[in-house]
């Protein structure tokens, strides 16, 4: 298995980067949709239904597959011989940050269900504040991987 992963390393790395970009785009955009949904759109209107459709499609068609493929290709990279030094701190900071990113993804999915049921209680301000979390995690991940500290 190790030799196969070494042979396809650049493919795996490329697909991992593409997946992460798609995932991050969704993690940035879905909370922004929630801000507009809370601040501009009323509950039970045609626009409410439109926003729910956009939010569902973004989560189900883009974010979920991108998160899953990011994890799959990332784990393949971790298992590729010679790629990871388990004694390095960067791997652990990246790993914990990715777990945080995954938690945020799941948090957004739970908020979408609240919009569907009409039970959302969070404000646009709260969604704006939460929208900063993936940015902070992205910064930690990029610096961890580039500097490998």
31: which residues sit within 8 A by CB, 6+ positions away? 108, 127, 128, 130, 131
Measured between alpha carbons, how far apart are the two ends of the chain, in Å?
28
pLDDT for the residue 25 = 98
Owning domain of residue 57:
2-147
Tell me the percentage of the chain whose pLDDT exceeds 70: 100
Domain count, the chain: 1
What average pLDDT does the structure give for the chain?
95
Q: DSSP secondary-structure letter at 82?
A: T
pLDDT for the residue 1 = 83
Q: Which two tokens stand for residue 69?
A: 């493929």
Helix (H, G, I), strand (E, B) or coil at 69: helix
Half-sphere exposure at residue 46, Cβ-oriented, CA atoms within 13 angstroms = 0
Lowest-pLDDT choice from 41-45, 65-69, 128-132: 41-45
pTM of the complete model: 0.94
Compute the distance between CA of residue 81 and CA of residue 32 in angstroms, rounded to an integer: 40
Compute the distance between CA of residue 54 and CA of residue 33 in angstroms, rounded to an integer: 8
pLDDT of residue 42 exceeding 80 = no
């Amino acid at each position: 298995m190790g030799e196969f992963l070494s042979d396809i390393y650049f493919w795996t790395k490329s697909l991992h980067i593409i997946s992460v970009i798609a995932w991050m785009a969704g993690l940035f955009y879905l909370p922004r949709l929630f801000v507009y949904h809370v601040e501009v759109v009323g509950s039970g209107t045609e626009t409410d239904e439109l926003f729910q459709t956009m939010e569902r499609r973004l989560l189900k068609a883009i974010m979920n597959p991108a998160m899953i493929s990011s994890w799959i290709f990332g784990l393949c990279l971790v298992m590729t011989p010679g790629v990871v030094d388990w004694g390095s701190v960067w791997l652990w900071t990246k790993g914990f940050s990715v777990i945080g990113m995954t938690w945020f993804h799941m948090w957004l999915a739970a908020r979408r269900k609240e919009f569907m049921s009409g039970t959302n209680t969070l404000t646009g301000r709260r969604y704006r504040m939460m929208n900063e979390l993936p940015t902070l995690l992205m910064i930690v991940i990029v610096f961890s991987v580039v500097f490998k500290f």
